[in-house]
Amino acid sequence: MAGREFFEPVSPQQRLYLERFKEMEVIQKILSELPKSDQNLCNHGSYFLAANSSLCGLAANNFFRNILHVRKASLVSALPMAVIPFLSTAAIYEVFVRDPIFSGDLNCEVCAVIRGGLIGAVVGGLYPVFLALPVNAGLAARYSSSPLPGKENLLRFWLTTAQPVFRKTSFGVLIQMLTGLYLATKHHGIYVKILQHMNASSDPEELQA
């Protein structure tokens, strides 16, 4: 009985998985034959967006520290503001833009570009600013560096405190949006190059050799 399972027909789901796996192997092989600039942009482009996100986080952290007069725990506040935005931006861009493009699930260039711009602006730009607010609010309360209002005026206080920080970081958010647009455009262009190489080959077995 154990040997009969090897002769059972392959299910449609398994066949689809095998075809997708072979297609990804072909894509990776062609990518390795493209110019180094395309390879580096494809493999490491999201890290540039993530690094800018860390800079936005550090800038927002510094602005909030100055407004709230926080002078202690500079490393404690700076470390998460550099690491968390970097990891979040890189991971989300990979999951929602780069991987879908190179797996063939995101063939629409306009959709890819819009998605890249939104991730760049929201995750890479606005998220670090929102993250810096509770971090520095906790430090201000802990070290009593700035008088904090009661619960009835708490929302108005933090809105007033955050407004100048958002104004100062708005240019960084714009840069992040443009960077996301650029990366998505280039990644989709590289995928089109790969498709052209695949279509130009008259021998599919040669690609898989």
Per the prediction, the chain carries an average pLDDT of: 85
The answer on pLDDT for 208 being more than 60 is no
Cβ atoms within 10 A of the Cβ of 147, count?
8
* 126 close to 174: Cβ distance less than 8 angstroms: no
The answer on pLDDT for 206 being more than 90 is no
pLDDT for res 142? 87
Residue spans of alpha helices (H) in the chain: 12-31, 36-68, 74-93, 99-102, 109-118, 127-143, 154-200, 204-208
pLDDT for res 13? 66
Residue with tokens 């027909």: 9
Which of the listed ranges 15-24, 185-194, 195-204 does the model predict with the highest average pLDDT?
185-194
* 59 close to 172: Cβ distance less than 8 angstroms: yes
Token pair of 44 as six digits: 């490491």
User: Which of helix, strand or coil describes residue 147?
Assistant: coil
The answer on pLDDT for 129 being more than 90 is yes
Q: How confident is the model at residue 148 (pLDDT cuts 50, 70, 90)?
A: confident
Q: What are phi and psi of 142, to 5 degrees?
A: -70, -45
pLDDT for res 35? 86
Model confidence pLDDT, tens digit, residues 42-67: 889 899 999 999 999 999 999 999 99
Residue with tokens 């690609």: 207
The answer on pLDDT for 95 being more than 70 is yes
Q: What is each CA distance from 182 to 49, 96, 151, in whole angstroms?
A: 10, 15, 44
The answer on pLDDT for 40 being more than 80 is yes
Using alpha carbons, select from 31, 117, 131, 118 the residue that is nearest to residue 87.
131
Q: Which residue has the higher pLDDT, 168 or 31?
A: 168
d(CA 49, CA 68) in angstroms, rounded, equals 29
The answer on pLDDT for 88 being more than 50 is yes
Q: Which residue has the higher pLDDT, 71 or 148?
A: 71
pLDDT for res 202? 47
Per-residue b or e along 13-31, where b marks 16 or more CB atoms closer than 10 Å to that residue's CB: eeeeeeeeeeeeebbeebb
d(CA 176, CA 45) in angstroms, rounded, equals 13
pTM: 0.82
Q: How confident is the model at residue 14 (pLDDT cuts 50, 70, 90)?
A: low
d(CA 53, CA 82) in angstroms, rounded, equals 8
d(CA 26, CA 29) in angstroms, rounded, equals 5
Mean pLDDT for the stretch of residues 181-207? 79
